Amino acid sequence: MSRVVILTGAGISAESGLGTFRAENGLWAQHRVEDVATPEGFRADPALVHRFYNMRRAESAGADPNEAHRALARLEAELDGGVTIVTQNVDDLHERGGAQNIIHMHGALAGSLCAACDHRWPSAFETTPADLCPHCATPNTRPDIVWFGEMPYQMDRIFGLLQDAEIFAAIGTSGNVYPAAGFAHEARRSGAHTVELNLEPSMVVNDFVETRFGPATRTVPEWVAELLG
């Protein structure tokens, strides 16, 4: 049970220097989603997909958590009743910012998955299609990332959290991708206070009773300071 459930998206890591997806120069302006973020794309050209996630893993390693990540870790440490961060992000900036109670619903760059036997293990910094699965010893290594057309992780647990939450916040996400874009509606239906902290109104801004616009490194520490009173 968590009093506060927080959904984060690429926008919370933007000020750490990591690209978002749908900005002008975003990741989906540089790479075709179907080539690097679908099971079909992986089957067609696994080397391209490994290179894409090797590049993102290197960028993530070169980035530092920012004041927004650190403010959420403070909230988790100091607020009675519990905080759960449900992140769409695959970087490890929440962890490196000090948070612990994190659900990576779209997977994580830190993980590898075997496309043949579903074994999971900590990813090497650089991976290739030739890497053997430590469990079944076949060359079916893929990033443990949830691609378009695949089911995000821990959805039952997340919906349980949304039903029990007193506060639901969404930070740095455009509301373009379901099921995450539907979380505010779900939480509000169960009586949670919903707040959007984003650079600009998201596609689902009307699902929130409270909105705070601006860069996350300003809006999140302010919001956390108020919650911790």
The number of residues that bind ligand APR (CB under 6 A) is 23
- Per-residue binder mask for ligand APR (CB under 6 A), 103-132, x = binder: ---x--------------------------
Residue 11 within binding range of ligand APR, rule CB under 6 A = yes
The answer to whether the CB of 105 falls within 8 A of the CB of 153 is yes
Contact between 211 and ligand APR per CB under 6 A:
no
Check residue 21 for interaction with ligand APR (CB under 6 A): yes
157 binds ligand APR (CB under 6 A): no
Binding ligand APR (rule: CB under 6 A), the pick from 22, 32, 43, 157 is 22
Query: Which of 24/80 has CB closer to ligand APR?
Result: 24
| Cα diameter, the chain | 54
Identity of the residue, 38 or 82, whose beta carbon is nearer to ligand APR in the bound complex? 38
Using CB under 6 A, pick the residue from 116, 199, 211, 212 that binds ligand APR: 199
Minimum separation from the CB atom of position 3 to ligand APR (A): 23
200 is a site residue for ligand APR (CB under 6 A): yes
* Token pair listed for 226: 């108020």
For the segment 60-89, give every residue that binds ligand APR (CB under 6 A).
88
Among 2, 4, 6, 9, binds ligand APR (CB under 6 A): 9
Q: Give the residue closest to ligand APR by C-beta.
A: 11
Check residue 10 for interaction with ligand APR (CB under 6 A).
yes
Angle at CA of residue 20, ends 104 and 208, nearest 5°: 70
d(CA 68, CA 35): 32
Tally of CB atoms within 10 A around 30:
11
Active site residues: 106
Least distance between ligand APR and beta carbon 101 (Å): 19
Using alpha carbons, list the distances in angstroms from residue 195 to 5, 203, 207.
11, 14, 9
What b/e string do you get for 134-163 counting C-beta neighbours within 10 Å, with b at 16 or more?
Answer: eeeeeebbbbbbbbeeeebbeeeebbebbe
Handedness of CA 138, 140, 143, 149 (dihedral sign): negative
DSSP-assigned states of every residue in 30-57: HS-HHHHSSHHHHHH-HHHHHHHHHHHH
Site for ligand APR, rule CB under 6 A: 9-11, 14-15, 20-23, 26, 88, 106, 172-174, 176-177, 198-200, 202, 215-216
